């Protein structure tokens, strides 16, 4: 039987990680992620989690350390945020290219300068092209569950997965949630059996030099595996729903409007909670909208998105990350995917928040109510 608990988001993450029994943990503290690894280090210290905890002097070393431990065949974990994730950047590419599994939790936070520690998704959005899978979570329960599913997917794909929680909004907020029993997780997630690993008895070369044609072939296979990942993740989520009775999808329909509602709001992460309240308010006051949250950013679930939005005339995208000179990063992803539709809906690119700028339900209600005034081509700043 699952046990209810009231935990901080960061503690929920730590409990999720613990249930997955990582053999090696290495991380470097950074606000707002620090609680995660503090909780884990206490678990290791008390003996309740049997794991090797490697202290390091930087995030660069943390990711390099788990690159080593996973190469040696262990299930491992690391976490970071903001500047820390940026510092890992070089190894993030290498890690994915090495075709090794891992789950990394990132607590989304703004990148300086100017200095800012608040919630902002620019840190992980700017790692889109490293080859990692990316999943954004709305609640701490979702984060805990996603970690368990992520290990399962990652180890079959031999690809690393980054799981996002919004800094402070999730990491530092208490939530009532259910903690699965170890047995439930063990039944869902068997111990990691590395298909290949560092072994002096059976020497293999990892990531050796590849000549141009071979390099191209390997990257093509990589790209195809990412496509296959969409199916695999669906399977994982379905199996999880069956065993744990909590349902997740790569894109989730959070609030349904009227049958003939032609406006959709889409966002990702914890802001979805606020948007749920806003869309309820809107529907009650006669403005019918559908609310979607995008969980999977990489690989991008294009087909699922098209299916979800194909009948809409307008899609309002709420962004927490910006690609300066273009606009909201999430908007670009959605616009690109919708291009394949014979008739495109209008995509309103709304820069709703950066660096922890507060988003109230009223903010979203106003944006939707004034939708006719929104630019359909340029980013909309408040």
Partner 1 sequence: MIKLKHIEAIRNGDFTGLPISNTSTAVNMTGSWKFFRPTLKPKKSPCLEACPLHILIADYMQEFAAGNHLNALEILRENNPLPAVTGRVCPHFCQSACNRTDFDEAVLIGDIERALGDLGLTQPYSMESQECQEKAAIIGSGPAGLAAAVFLARSGVKVTIFEQSEAPGGLLRYGIPAYRLPRRILEKEIKNIVESYSIDLRCNHKIKSTDLDNLRKEYDAVIAAPGLTQSSIPETWPETPTVKGALELLAAISRDEPIPGQDFVIIGGGNAALDTARSLKRLGKTVQIIYRRTIDEMPAYPDEIIEAQSEGLLLREETVIEEIIDNGRDLSLNLHRSRKNGDRIEAGDFIETITTDFLIAATGQESSGDFLNCNPELLKAGDFAHGAASVAEALASGRKAAETTLRKFGRLPDDSITDQETQNLPPITFAALHLNYYSKKPALKIPQLDEQTRSDNFSEIHLGLSLEQLEIEAERCFHCGSCTTCGICWFFCPDVAIAINRESDNAESQILFDYDHCKGCGQCAEVCPRGVIEMEEDL
The reply on whether position 231 binds partner 1 by CB under 8 A is yes
Q: What is the 3-state secondary structure (H, E, C) of 15-54?
A: HHHHHCCCCEEEECCCCCCHHHHHHHHHHHHHCCCCCEEE
Among 228, 239, 340, 362, the residue binding partner 1 under the rule CB under 8 A is 228
The reply on whether position 190 binds partner 1 by CB under 8 A is no
Within positions 78 to 117, which residues make up the interface with partner 1, using CB under 8 A? 97-99
Among 2, 90, 199, 224, the residue binding partner 1 under the rule CB under 8 A is 224
Sheet holding 251-255, edge to edge: 251-255, 290-294, 263-267, 314-319, 346-351, 380-381
Report the C-alpha dihedral over residues 209, 197, 75, 62, rounded to 10 degrees: -40
Among residues 208, 198, 202, which one has the least CA distance to residue 68?
198
Of 3 and 211, CB closest to partner 1: 211
Of 159 and 330, CB closest to partner 1: 159
Among 46, 205, 373, 377, the residue binding partner 1 under the rule CB under 8 A is 205
**Binding segment (CB under 8 A) for partner 1, from list 151-159, 238-246, 277-285, 369-377:** 151-159
The reply on whether position 360 binds partner 1 by CB under 8 A is no
**Binding segment (CB under 8 A) for partner 1, from list 143-151, 154-162, 163-171, 307-315:** 154-162
Nearest-approach distance from CB 217 to partner 1, in angstroms: 8
Per the CB < 8 A criterion, the answer to whether 100 and 156 are in contact is no
Per the CB < 8 A criterion, the answer to whether 334 and 315 are in contact is yes
The reply on whether position 210 binds partner 1 by CB under 8 A is yes
Take residue 169 and report the two structure tokens written for it: 């909004």
Count of residues that interact with partner 1, criterion CB under 8 A: 25
In a 13 Å sphere around the CA of 120, the CA atoms on its Cβ side amount to 25
Of 53 and 222, CB closest to partner 1: 222
**Binding segment (CB under 8 A) for partner 1, from list 37-45, 123-131, 221-229, 332-340:** 221-229
Per the CB < 8 A criterion, the answer to whether 265 and 290 are in contact is yes
The reply on whether position 47 binds partner 1 by CB under 8 A is no
The reply on whether position 381 binds partner 1 by CB under 8 A is no
The reply on whether position 207 binds partner 1 by CB under 8 A is yes
As beta bridge partners, residue 77 has: 25, 103
Per the CB < 8 A criterion, the answer to whether 157 and 205 are in contact is no
The reply on whether position 157 binds partner 1 by CB under 8 A is yes
Q: Which residue has the tokens 């943990």?
A: 25
Nearest-approach distance from CB 125 to partner 1, in angstroms: 26
Nearest-approach distance from CB 100 to partner 1, in angstroms: 10
Among 58, 196, 199, 381, the residue binding partner 1 under the rule CB under 8 A is 196
Q: Which residue has the tokens 């339900």?
A: 361
């Amino acid at each position: 039987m699952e046990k209810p608990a009231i935990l901080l988001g960061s503690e929920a993450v730590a409990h999720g990680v613990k249930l997955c029994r990582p053999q090696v943990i290495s991380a470097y503290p950074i606000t707002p992620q620090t609680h995660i690894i503090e909780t884990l280090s206490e678990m290791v210290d008390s003996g309740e989690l049997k794991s090797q905890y490697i202290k390091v002097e930087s995030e660069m070393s943390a990711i390099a350390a788990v690159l080593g431990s996973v190469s040696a065949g262990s299930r491992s974990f690391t976490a970071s945020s903001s500047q820390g994730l940026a510092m890992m950047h070089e190894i993030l590419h290498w890690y994915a290219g090495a075709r090794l599994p891992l789950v990394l939790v990132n607590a989304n936070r703004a990148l300086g300068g100017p200095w800012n520690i608040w919630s902002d998704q620019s840190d992980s959005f700017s790692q889109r092209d490293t080859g990692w899978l990316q999943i954004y979570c709305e609640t701490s329960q979702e984060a805990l569950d996603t970690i368990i599913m992520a290990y399962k997917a990652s180890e079959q794909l031999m690809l690393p997965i980054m799981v996002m929680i919004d800094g402070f909004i999730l990491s530092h907020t208490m939530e009532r949630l259910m903690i699965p029993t170890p047995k439930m997780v063990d039944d869902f997630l068997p111990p990691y059996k590395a298909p290949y690993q560092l072994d002096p008895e059976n020497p293999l070369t990892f990531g050796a030099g590849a000549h141009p044609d071979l390099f191209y072939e390997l990257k093509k296979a990589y790209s195809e595996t990412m496509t296959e990942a969409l199916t695999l993740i669906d399977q994982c989520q379905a199996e999880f729903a069956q065993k744990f009775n909590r349902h997740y999808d790569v894109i989730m329909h959070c609030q349904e409007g009227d049958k003939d509602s032609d406006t959709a709001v889409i966002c990702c992460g914890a802001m979805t909670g606020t948007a749920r309240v806003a869309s309820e308010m809107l529907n009650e006051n006669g403005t019918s909208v559908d609310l979607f949250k995008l969980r999977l950013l990489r690989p991008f679930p294009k087909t699922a998105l098209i299916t979800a939005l194909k009948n809409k005339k307008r899609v309002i995208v709420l962004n927490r990350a910006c690609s300066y000179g273009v606009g909201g990063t999430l908007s670009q992803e959605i616009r690109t995917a919708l291009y394949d539709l014979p008739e495109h809906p209008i995509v309103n690119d709304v820069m709703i928040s950066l660096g922890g700028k507060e988003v109230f339900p009223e903010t979203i209600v106003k944006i939707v109510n004034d939708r006719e005034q929104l630019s359909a081509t340029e980013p909309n700043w408040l």
